[in-house]
Every structure is written in C-alpha cells, then in structure tokens.
Structure 1
C-alpha cells in the first residue's frame, strides 16, 4: 500500500450508496470517482472523443491513460488499456498503469550518474537501481490539466531542482491528442535552467483482446529493430548493441508473443520474458512504423511511431495476477504489454548510447503515436 504523508483524500460522490446518477463514460468510468485532493492539488478525469466515437479517458494523477475505447473488427467499442476505476485505487497501488514516466524512464545503474563532473545519487527503488525516476516519480505527481478541445488535453508539471536529486528546474508540457485516424498522439516538451538528464515516456499496458483478464501470449508483435541492448541479471544494459538475428529477440516479422517468451535464452531468463530495449531502425523518423501489435480475435491493430531511438517491450512478467482493476477485473500474469518509446536505459552511464543530457537554452521534444486500426 502506497503511503502519502501529505495525502488528504476526498472522493466526491452523489450518494453514499446505491447507483450513481451521473453519466458514465463510454468505458464505464464515473468522473466523480476521480475527483480528489492529493497533496493539496485537485485530481480529475478528462474525456477525449474523436469524430469516429473513439474515447480516451485520462487523469491528471500521474498523467495516466485510464481507458481507451477503440472499435474492433465488428465496430464494437473495446477498451485496450489496463487501469483503475478511481483515484483511491490508483493511490492504493504501487503500479504505473498508463502513467507519464520521468524524470528518467527506465533504469539508471546503482542510482548514480555524473554530469559536468558532479555525481548525483538518485533513489534506489529497483534492485539497487533507480527505475522510472524513483518511487515518487512523475507517475505520482498531480499535473495541471487543461482540456484544449474535445480531442486535446494539455498537462503541465514543474519538476523542482533537486526533486529525487535530479538537477535543474524542469518545466514540462505533455499533450495528449486523440486524432481522427484513431491514434493517441503524445508530445513531450521540456526546458531546464540547469544541465540535467531527461527521458520521458508513457507506461500504458495494452491488451487488444477485448478481455482485460486474458493473457496476451497470442497477440502478434512486430518490432522494427535489427539490434537490442542486452542486460545483466539486474536488467541494466551491458553497453552492447546486439543483433537480434537468430535469437528469440528477432521480432522483425510478426510473431505471437508467447512463441519464444519462455525459451531458455539467457536474456529471456534474466527478464522473465521480454523486458528489453530495442534499437529502432526508424532512426527518429516519426513516419516509419517502429512496432506493431495485433489481436487475431478482435482484429484490433496498434502501430507505434516515434522520434525516439528505442522502445522498451515489456510483457507483464512482474504482474502477480492479484491486481484488481476497472470493473472488478483481475489482471493476470502477463495480462498486458508495454511499448515505451525512449532513449536507452542507463544512457547517462553509457557513453556510446545516445545522450539524454538537456542544457539551458535547449528544448527537449519527444513524440509517440499509438495508432489503432482493424485487419
């Protein structure tokens, strides 16, 4: 259970018991279940809809994508992301379903990095390493939300100098846009007043089956990458850019996730399945598909586009099967997968990896598009 020392939780409901009179979203969420005061700031649920009736629900608690309703091959609206049905449930969880991740997505070795001859020690929250900015990363922050129109949400957060011991005041704007070609287009912008490191991403858990209590082993995946970054026993990159060819890491052609996930291959054993960074062939071209997944039952497809050099493919290997989400659904072991567009893990300690340093006067910009269709 996550403890918030400054938490004052006040969920507003119309009735203490019985049915709610307020209108639910298409995904069955009630906005008042997301109205609370956390650390003195108000939380809310924002609903985006496009011209096709696709709906995305986002809360400013952690900037989380709570639900995403897209049509299946029969035109039936289908929720394709895991999440919870209230702020209270999110606060009670240590997970990061749908969250904005930062200041540094993924792992930093031993929680240390050196920048301009100054060494910084970060939180140690994952096998002695810093993962996703620490226990109180951006996934736990209350972002300032502004709904621009029916299809656009702007979220802002000023991360103060020294937060989680990262240097520099980082002024961040994240824009969620639900486009008319059925895509969630996420843009990240940031500036700093002091040299720092930045690696922002989204940690949505996807399941295209129409059954959020079903494992994802039969879903088909393709990742447009000739190489990946192997890891040690604690999932820190070794520094190598290894070829995927002739290994279970070769996902260049569509293949069911479960085909090789339990192979006695060193990297899959270390990750308990897929939990690795792929070096994308798209070379930062937002118009080139970086990854694609498909569910053969619903026909739903998801294409991923990004200007980032890598993507972390994670197959829910640390899901316990004891997590109850929206509508009382229990999420099983390997009940979803993540495709987190990013710079590589531990880049601040790997001189041969693309740099994640941001300096005053520069502007950080990252973009990720999750585009949905049917086949």
Structure 2
C-alpha cells in the first residue's frame, strides 16, 4: 500500500472512531441523550454518523453528516441548568426524506430560500430548476444538500469540517461545485459556521443553516414569548406564494419592525397586515443594517423563561426569520416531543431570496476561479 492510500485509510478509520466511539452503552449517550448508534446507516453508498463537539463550559453540539445538520445544542440557562435548544430527531431514520421531509438543522445548498418559478438566466441561457414549493425552487430542490451526505474531512473535540461534491446538473444547477461547511464550538459558547464553495462553471450559490431554535428548552413551550431584535430598517415583502416582489420597504410602523426588541408573538396574528397573512406568520427576509460586518449583532433572541440568549452575527446582507408557521403537530421529534406550530424559530443568514432574478440585489453568481464565502455565528449566553 502506498503512502497516500495508507494515509487516507488512517484518516477514514480515525473519523469512523470519532463518529462511533461513544456508543457502546447507555453511559455513552451524549449529554442531550442521543445514542450515536442510532445515527449510523448507509445513504446512497455513504455512511452517516453522529459527531459531538464540546467545550470547557459543558456546552455540547451534536452534528450528523446527513445534510450537515445540527442535531442538538446543549446550553446552560440562568441557573446553570442545561437545555437542548434546537429541534431535531433521535435517529437518522427520522431525518430521511421518506420518513420526514424536513430541514431541521441542515446546511442548505445549493441555493437557500426560493428562486422564482425555478428559473435562472446565466449568460443568456435559461436554466430550469425543480419547482418544489408553490411553483418555485426552494432550498436547492427536492434533493438539495439537506438530503445528501456530506463527507467528514476533519473532526476534533471542538470542530468538524464537512465537504460536499455537487456534480454539474445536481437538481439542474450548473457546474461541479466543491463546498465545505465548518462548524466550530468556541470557548465562549458560540457555534461558528464557515461556508466555502468553488465551481468549474458559472453558477449560483447561497448557503445557510436551517436550525429551529427553542430557547425555552422545551418544544411544548412556544417561541411566541421569546424577545427578538433584528438590526434591519427594511425587509423584502413577498406575494401569496412566498416569493419576493422585488421591493425593499421600511419596517417602521409595521409588524415587521424588530429594531426595538419585542415578543415574536406580539404581532404574529395581525392578519390585517398582508405580509403576516401571506406568510402565515413570519417567513421573510430582513435587509440587515450591519453591511457585512460580522462583528455586529444582526439579530438577538431571548427566552424570558430560561434567560438563554442567542446572538446572530454574519457577513451576509440578509436574514430570514421563519416562525415555525407550518409545524402542525404531525412530526414527533427528540424525546417524543410533538412539534406544533411555533415550536421553533429559524434565523437563516443569507443573500436575499430570488437574487438571481433581481439584478439590483447583491449577486449570488459564482464564477470559476472565485471562492464563495459566508460566515455565521450563533452565540449563546444568559440574561437574568
């Protein structure tokens, strides 16, 4: 066996041990109560597993390479008690699309959010993408990256690097794309997410994380009492099919105004306002004032019951706030909890929906020789 094959084999063995080492007995369960054995299967010839990141504060983050998903996030409340603050499932079987077609915790690609009628035009050529949501292409199509297995190329106690080879024509997107998602659990209780991608043909890229957060630590407790701040004076309104109209309008004087922190549920039932009626709640992109400065807080969520806080920092121009409008009690998640409407809230850093068809908005086009880069931080803390 030559050196390169031997090295690759050693890396593969090390990664397999990291994914599966803590799964021999109940005493080996994760802090969130997950059994790594339940995350090992074969999907399209690739092996899935569960990977655990920890820090010295006792925080734990569990990741599966199926869809690059955050499965559990254990953080302390104001009294030091730990809670799992993200929705998900107890086993890989429940994540498979034939059982639950969901985006829980996923690293979304190639294109997060919606593309109008699934059509893009590149260099005068029209590309027809799948139409899997109200006539539009949503989250990369019906077999987007959330339903594919990422390769684990590096993993240690605090960080994991996931890679995706997306072939030319994947859900009809052009170009062979090589993408990476790096999750790092920091010493100050933050999940740092770094996205990178390259292509050999002109294409579009827009990646995000689709975690449903519940800072109450209990999906039975709705997120409507959580206090939300969004650093955005404007947002991009949508029509009845959740497609952006092309406008950018002020939030002032509307239910979309979170420049002063308020409860998520304060205006969520105001169906006299078309955007709430169209979205069945919040399912909109806010245009961030942070102008790509990921040292500024783009959004902040606080749970009064636990004191747990979540700050979102990003270099992206927008953030999609989705208030769990379509959770309907038909899905049972971790520990047998039923996920009802508003059991979780998503804070998805991104370029604006349908940017490929709106030339005046920040571009999502990736050319050969360029590197797509996106950065997001989910920083947890507590308030008394």
User: Could you say which residue in structure 1 is the equivalent of 2:200?
Assistant: 193
Please, what TM-score do these two structures have when normalized by structure 2?
0.92
How far apart are the structure 2 equivalents of 1:211 and 1:173?
32
Q: For the Cα contact (< 8 Å) 1:22–1:30, is it kept in 2?
A: no
User: Could you say which residue in structure 2 is the equivalent of 1:134?
Assistant: 141
Once the two structures are superposed, the pairs formed by residues 257-272 of structure 1 within 5 Å of their partners are: 257-263=264-270, 264-272=272-280
Q: CA deviation at 1:214?
A: 1.7
1:52 aligns with 2:23: no
Q: CA deviation at 1:320?
A: 1.0
Q: CA deviation at 1:102?
A: 0.9
Q: CA deviation at 1:145?
A: 1.1
Runs of 5+ consecutive residues of structure 2 not aligned to the other structure: 1-19
How far apart are the structure 2 equivalents of 1:90 and 1:266?
34
User: Could you say which residue in structure 1 is the equivalent of 2:355?
Assistant: 347
Once the two structures are superposed, the pairs formed by residues 281-360 of structure 1 within 5 Å of their partners are: 281-360=289-368
Q: CA deviation at 1:147?
A: 4.1
How far apart are the structure 2 equivalents of 1:134 and 1:148?
29
Q: CA deviation at 1:352?
A: 1.1
Q: Name whichever structure is richer in helix by fraction.
A: 2
User: Could you say which residue in structure 1 is the equivalent of 2:80?
Assistant: 75
Q: CA deviation at 1:149?
A: 1.9
Q: Render the CA deviation track for 1:86-112: whole Å, top value 9, x for unaligned.
A: 011111110110001110000000010
User: Could you say which residue in structure 1 is the equivalent of 2:35?
Assistant: 30
1:151 aligns with 2:158: yes
How far apart are the structure 1 equivalents of 2:217 and 2:143?
32
Q: Which of the numbers 203, 212, 223 marks the counterpart of 1:216?
A: 223
How far apart are the structure 2 equivalents of 1:116 and 1:51?
51
Q: CA deviation at 1:23?
A: 1.0
How far apart are the structure 2 equivalents of 1:90 and 1:21?
22
> Which structure 1 residue ranges, 4+ long, deviate > 4 Å from structure 2?
19-22
Q: CA deviation at 1:146?
A: 3.5
Taking only aligned residues, the RMSD between alpha carbons, in angstroms, comes to: 1.4
The SS at the match of 1:211 is coil
User: Could you say which residue in structure 1 is the equivalent of 2:15?
Assistant: none
Count how many residue pairs are aligned between Structure 1 and Structure 2. Answer: 360
How far apart are the structure 2 equivalents of 1:163 and 1:77?
40
Runs of 5+ consecutive residues of structure 1 not aligned to the other structure: 1-11
Please, what TM-score do these two structures have when normalized by structure 1?
0.94
